[in-house]
Amino acid sequence: MYQRFGKRLLDVLISLIFLPLLALILLACAPFIYFEDRGPIFFVQKRRGRYGKPFDILKLRTMSPKAPDLRAADGSTLASNQDPRVTRSGRVLRRTSLDEVPQLLNVLKGDMSLVGPRPTLATADYAAYSAVKKKRLRVRPGITGYSQAYHRNAISAEEKFRLDALYVDSLSFRLDLKIILKTITSVLRRKDINND
């Protein structure tokens, strides 16, 4: 019942409640992002959504607009807080995870959920995905997820995928609530923060 109806209802209600906060964050951050290098405020990128459907993820831009696109062989991003491509304002946004806040709009649109596996880049062919990678896409990707809340970037991509698949099997209101609370704690402690 929760997975079919309650989760989406909760996503919409919480996102609507936090929209004024999103507006305040945008008003506060936009001048710093723009005037640092006269680049766009937002960063938009194709990601894989539920059942592999591509969508445009929305973030506050944290890198120079002329930064080269560096990826690992599997298409995963290599960016970190020490990356020279990250702007000064971008480092602050990443440390506080404020760059992820615009994804509330992705949640309202229905592309994402508040809690779920983090969406991967839409570069690889979905048909070639392993069973584990496909399983994690049976639910909407999330702003935060089990791997991010409990391990941040301290585990490998393969281990994240495995934990994401376990999350899909165990999805419940109680688990989502625990993940949200743990995410808040991790962000406040600034523990192993990096961007997906």
What dihedral do alpha carbons 115, 59, 47, 124 form, nearest 10°?
-120
pLDDT of residue 115: 98
Contact 79, 195 (CB under 8 A): yes
Distance between CA atoms of residues 77 and 121, nearest Å:
8
pLDDT of residue 3: 87
95-127 pLDDT, tens digit per residue, is: 888 999 999 999 999 999 999 999 999 988 998
CA dist 21 → 10, 32, 98 (Å): 17, 18, 11
pLDDT of residue 77: 56
pLDDT of residue 83: 74
Contact 132, 117 (CB under 8 A): no
76-87 pLDDT, tens digit per residue, is: 555 555 677 899
> Amino acid identity, residue 20?
P
Tokens encoding 10: 């909760």
- Assign 3-class secondary structure to 117-149: CCCCECCCCHHHCCHHHHHHHHCCCEEECHHHH
| Other beta carbons less than 10 A from residue 85's beta carbon | 16
pLDDT of residue 143: 96
Ranges under pLDDT 50 in the chain: 73-74
CA dist 74 → 33, 38, 96 (Å): 30, 32, 27
pLDDT of residue 131: 93
pLDDT of residue 70: 63
Parallel, antiparallel, or unpaired: how do β-strands 113-115 and 142-144 relate?
Answer: parallel
Sequence ranges of the domains in the chain: 2-189
| pTM score of the predicted model | 0.86
